[in-house]
Amino acid sequence: MESITIEQATDILQATLEDVKKNSCPLTYLYSSYKLFNSLWKDRVKSEGGDKIERFITLKDEGNAKHQGNWEKDTHNVLNTDENIIVNWRRASSNFSYNVIEMDMNKGNAQIYNKVQNKYNNTLREIVDEIYDAALSTPTSSADKLSPQGLPAHLSLGTIATSGWTGYSARYNDGSTPGGTYNSGTIASSAANKSRWASYYADHAGDIDDSLLVLLDRACRKLAFDGPAFPEKLPGPTFKFSLYSNDNIIGSLNLLYAKSDDQMGYRVSEHFRYPNFKGVPFVYVDQLDTANASLYGTDPIYGINHELIYPVVLNNWDFKIGKPRSRDEQHVVLTVDIDVVYNYICENRRRAGFLLSEHPSN
Question: pLDDT tier at 231 (50, 70, 90 boundaries)?
Answer: low
* Highest mean pLDDT out of 207-211, 230-234, 255-259: 207-211
**Model-level pTM?**
0.86
At residue 356 the predicted structure's pLDDT band, cuts being 50, 70 and 90, is very high
> Residue range 234-248: average pLDDT?
78
Would you state the pLDDT for residue 124? 94
Report the distance separating Cα 91 and Cα 341, nearest Å.
4
The average pLDDT across 324-332 equals: 84
Q: Where are the alpha helices (DSSP H) in the chain?
A: 6-17, 35-41, 100-105, 115-135, 151-154, 210-222, 247-260, 268-271, 349-352
pLDDT in tens, 75-98: 888 888 899 999 999 999 999 998
Which range is least confidently modeled, 45-49, 154-158, 236-240? Answer: 236-240
CB 282, CB 276: distance < 8 Å: yes
What is the band of 142 on the pLDDT scale with cuts at 50, 70, 90? very high
Average pLDDT over residues 31-36: 94
Q: What are the sequence ranges of the domains in the chain?
A: 6-59+81-358
CA distance 240 to 225: 9
* Continuous H helices in 287-338: none
In the chain, at which residue ranges do the beta strands (DSSP E only) sit? 45-47, 53-58, 82-87, 90-99, 164-167, 170-171, 181-182, 199-203, 241-245, 276-277, 280-284, 298-305, 309-314, 320-321, 325-326, 333-346, 353-358
pLDDT over 90 at 150, yes or no: yes
Residue ranges with strand state E in 146-190: 164-167, 170-171, 181-182
Say which residue, 266 or 308, is predicted with more confidence: 308
**15 contacts: CB under 8 Å, gap ≥ 6:** none
pLDDT grade, residue 277 (50/70/90)?
confident
pLDDT tens by residue, 245-258 = 999 999 999 888 87
Q: What are residue 143's phi and psi, to 5 degrees?
A: -85, -10
Please report the pLDDT score of residue 226 as a whole number.
72
Question: What's the pLDDT at 116?
Answer: 80
Q: What is the pLDDT of residue 327?
A: 80
Res. 191 pLDDT band, cuts 50 70 90: very high
Which is it for the CA torsion 258, 264, 265, 268, positive or negative? negative
The pLDDT of residue 233 is above 50: yes
Q: What percent of the chain has pLDDT over 90?
A: 62
pLDDT over threshold 50, residue 20: no
Least confident among 61-65, 153-157, 287-291: 61-65
Q: What does pLDDT average to over the chain?
A: 87
The lowest-confidence range among 3-7, 28-32, 201-205, 289-293 is 3-7
Digit-coded pLDDT (tens) for 293-314: 999 999 999 999 999 999 999 9
Q: Is the dihedral of CA 4, 10, 15, 19 positive or negative?
A: positive
How is residue 168 annotated by DSSP? -
Residue 288 φ/ψ, nearest 5 degrees = -75, -5
**Treating both helix axes as pointing N-terminal to C-terminal, what angle do 6-17 and 115-135 enclose, rounded to 10 degrees?**
60
Mean pLDDT of 151-157: 98
What are the φ and ψ backbone dihedral angles of 259, each rounded to 5 degrees? -70, -25
pLDDT-derived band at 21 (thresholds 50, 70, 90) equals very low
Nearest one of 76, 78, 79 to 59, comparing CA atoms: 79
**Helix pair 210-222, 247-260: axis angle to 10 deg:** 110
Cα angle 68, 72, 73 (rounded to 5 degrees) comes to: 110
pLDDT score at 268: 46
Buried b (16+ CB within 10 A) or exposed e, 321-341: eeebebeeeeeebbebebbbb
Beta partners for residue 356, in sequence order = 202, 301
Question: Which CATH number applies to 6-59+81-358?
Answer: 3.90.1690
Least confident of 9-13, 135-139, 211-215, 237-241: 9-13
The bridge status of strand 82-87 relative to strand 53-58 is: antiparallel
73, exposed or middle or buried, with CB in 10 Å at 0-12, 13-18, 19+?
Answer: exposed
